[in-house]
């Protein structure tokens, strides 16, 4: 079955540590996205990529980095510069321009600080 896989489901970060969240899709979608969700808040866009080897900052990119070396993969690194990283992180994909209103989400990764 096609879908988006995020791993791990739970992740803990120590002070000063970088951590990487994985996101893989086998839907053959061109576009991929990372969102951050805090309790009682909407989804805020961190980074997005419309095509391989290209990505753009979203509304809250500071303290995060991404790469898009393969169509299927869009990993997110939460760097030590992100001072409040505890949140639920959601990866999504969409078919691409002209059809990217229909997002397909993964099951999320809950990141907590030790």
Partner 1 sequence: GQQLNQSPQSMFIQEGEDVSMNCTSSSIFNTWLWYKQDPGEGPVLLIALYKAGELTSNGRLTAQFGITRKDSFLNISASIPSDVGIYFCAGQLWYGGSQGNLIFGKGTKLSVKP
Q: Shortest approach of partner 1 to residue 38 CB, angstroms?
A: 10
Q: Determine the Cα–Cα distance for residues 51 and 73; give it in Å rounded to an integer.
A: 11
Which of 11, 58, 61, 77 touches partner 1 by CB under 8 A? Answer: 58
Q: Shortest approach of partner 1 to residue 78 CB, angstroms?
A: 18
In this structure, the number of other CB atoms found within 10 A of the CB of residue 56 comes to 11
Instruction: Indicate the Cα dihedral angle 87, 91, 94, 100, nearest 10°.
Output: 20
Which of 51, 53, 59, 69 touches partner 1 by CB under 8 A? Answer: 59
Reference 70, options 93, 51, 52, 48; nearest CA is 52
Which of 36/82 has CB closer to partner 1?
Answer: 36
- Fill in the per-residue mask, 15 to 54: x = in contact with partner 1 (CB under 8 A), - = not in contact: ------------------x------xxxxxx--x------
């Amino acid at each position: 079955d096609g879908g988006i896989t995020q791993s791990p489901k739970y992740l803990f970060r120590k002070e000063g540590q970088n951590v990487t969240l994985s996101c893989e899709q086998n839907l053959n979608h061109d576009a991929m996205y990372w969102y951050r969700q805090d309790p009682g808040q909407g989804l805020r866009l961190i980074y997005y990529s419309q095509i391989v080897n290209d990505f753009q900052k979203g509304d809250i990119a500071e303290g995060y980095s991404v790469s898009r070396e393969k169509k299927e993969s869009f990993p997110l690194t939460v760097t030590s510069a992100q001072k409040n990283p505890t949140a639920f992180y959601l990866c999504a994909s969409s078919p691409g321009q002209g059809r990217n209103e229909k997002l397909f989400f993964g099951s999320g990764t809950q990141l907590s600080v030790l």
